[in-house]
């Protein structure tokens, strides 16, 4: 007991220690509460914006993406400030740390260029609304659905379920298949001796039926457009048509149209490769 009291020193020394401990506790609790408050405020703002956007899928996806990034940035900033304040209470000066960081920064500057580029490209993509959570995109040689967008990378899941983490620094071109509308392009391969006029009439009829179908009327945004014969050889010909559809419904509309054409013609009809 005496040794412990000797360690603490005189009452004049104990009081500053207690005050320092109280300040550290206050900083930590304030940081936790502030992070929770910011996240709650962001959620409330997102809910209001969602209600205002209603069924606008494009706006909803942008709100979700920006909300996640803003929450991440707010948490990082508050946490960093709290750590700096706690270090200050422990008597750790940041000046030597910053000086050392400057020296190390020169040494690793070239290696950190890609990291800086990640954050810069990520910020630009968010501000320009290029990629949002839920978009179907193709970039950096990968194609799939965006599951997460951060300032550092995007997380992409392809059709087979494989998850790809793509650093923003390697993203130079983005093909976004989820903007406004898409075209369900349909190629019908038939024998060269077929009655093309009859087949096109059947295709138009099925296109009209599909637009009237309650399961597809909201997915299709325009009448069937028949381009005609796309190409042919000595055995087969390919007839091309397309529907303007919602981006996420391109595959389902195409498959249903192909199935109905096959049923109507009752001949070996397949999608052209």
Does residue 31 sit in the same domain as residue 85?
yes
Closest CA to 139 of 121, 120, 127: 121
pLDDT for res 109: 56
CA nearest to 220, candidates 186, 187, 189, 183? 183
Between CA 206 and CA 214, with CA 211 as vertex, the angle to 5 degrees is 115
Same domain, 153 and 206: no
Q: Per-residue pLDDT for the chain (273 aa), expressed as one digit of tens each?
A: 555 555 555 556 677 777 888 888 898 999 999 999 998 988 888 888 777 776 666 677 777 777 888 888 888 888 888 888 888 887 776 666 656 556 555 545 555 677 778 888 888 888 788 888 888 899 999 999 999 888 889 999 998 999 999 999 999 899 988 888 899 999 999 999 989 999 999 999 999 999 999 999 999 999 999 999 999 999 999 999 999 998 889 899 999 999 999 999 875 545 444
Those residues with Cβ within 8 angstroms of residue 248's Cβ, 6 or more apart along the chain or in another chain: 136, 178
Is residue 88 located within the same domain as residue 18?
Answer: yes
What is the per-residue pLDDT for 220?
Answer: 94
The total domain count for the chain is 3
Element (H, E) at 116: helix 94-127
Residue 65 has a pLDDT of: 76
Q: Which residue has the tokens 């320009």?
A: 128
Q: Any bridge partners for residue 174, and if so which?
A: 139
| Residue 3: strand, helix, or coil | helix
Last residue of a domain, one of 45, 75, 92: 92
| pLDDT tens by residue, 143-154 | 999 998 888 899
Q: Is 110 in the same domain as 134? A: yes
Centroid of chain to Cα 50: 17
Let me know whether 125 and 165 are in one domain. Answer: yes
What are the beta bridge partners of residue 229?
Answer: 239
Question: CA–CA separation, 245 vs 104, rounded Å?
Answer: 54
User: Given this model, what pLDDT does residue 93 score?
Assistant: 66
Domain containing residue 200: CATH number: 3.30.70.100
Let me know whether 73 and 125 are in one domain.
no
List C-alpha distances in Å: 243 to 189, 206, 250.
18, 12, 8
Rounded Cα gap, residues 198 and 230, in angstroms: 17
Residue 225 dihedral angles phi and psi, to the nearest 5°: -110, 120
207 contacts 220 by C-beta, under 8 angstroms = no
Same domain, 233 and 256: yes
Domain boundary among 112, 144, 178: 178
Q: Which domain holds residue 104?
A: 97-178
Do 187 and 174 share a structural domain? no
**Among 63, 92, 121, where does a domain finish?**
92
Q: In this structure, are 209 and 264 located in the same domain? A: yes
Continuous segment of H or E residues that includes residue 241: strand 236-245
Kindly report whether the global pTM for this prediction surpasses the value 0.85.
no
215 Ramachandran zone, left/alpha/beta (phi>0; psi -120 to 50): alpha
Q: What pLDDT is stored for residue 273 in this prediction?
A: 45
> What's residue 94's pLDDT?
63
Helical (H) or strand (E) element with 166: strand 163-167
Q: The domain spanning residue 138 has which CATH number? A: 2.30.30.60
* CB 168, CB 121: distance < 8 Å: yes
């Amino acid at each position: 007991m005496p040794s412990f009291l000797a360690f603490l020193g005189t009452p004049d020394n104990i009081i500053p220690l207690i005050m320092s401990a109280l300040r550290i506790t206050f900083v930590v609790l304030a940081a936790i509460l502030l992070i929770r408050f910011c996240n709650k405020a962001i959620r409330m703002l997102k809910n209001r914006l969602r209600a205002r956007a209603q069924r606008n899928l494009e706006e909803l996806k942008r709100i979700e993406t920006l909300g996640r990034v803003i929450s991440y940035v707010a948490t990082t900033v508050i946490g960093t400030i709290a750590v700096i304040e706690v270090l200050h209470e422990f008597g750790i000066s940041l000046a030597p740390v910053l000086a050392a960081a400057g020296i190390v920064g020169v040494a690793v500057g070239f290696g950190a260029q890609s990291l800086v580029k990640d954050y810069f490209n990520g910020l630009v993509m968010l501000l320009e609304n290029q990629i949002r959570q839920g978009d179907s995109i193709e970039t950096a040689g990968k194609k799939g659905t965006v599951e997460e967008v951060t300032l550092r990378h995007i997380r992409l899941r392809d059709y087979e379920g494989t998850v790809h983490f793509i650093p923003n620094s390697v993203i130079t071109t983005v093909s976004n298949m989820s903007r406004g509308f898409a075209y369900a392009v349909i190629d019908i391969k038939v024998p060269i001796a077929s009655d093309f006029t009859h087949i096109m009439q059947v295709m138009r009829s099925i296109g009209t039926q599909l637009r009237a179908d309650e399961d597809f009327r909201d997915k299709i945004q325009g009448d069937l457009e028949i381009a005609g014969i796309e190409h042919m050889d000595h055995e087969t010909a390919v007839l091309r048509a397309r529907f303007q559809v919602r981006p996420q419904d391109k595959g389902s509309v195409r498959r249903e149209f192909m199935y109905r054409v096959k049923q109507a013609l009752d001949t070996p009809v397949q999608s052209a490769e």
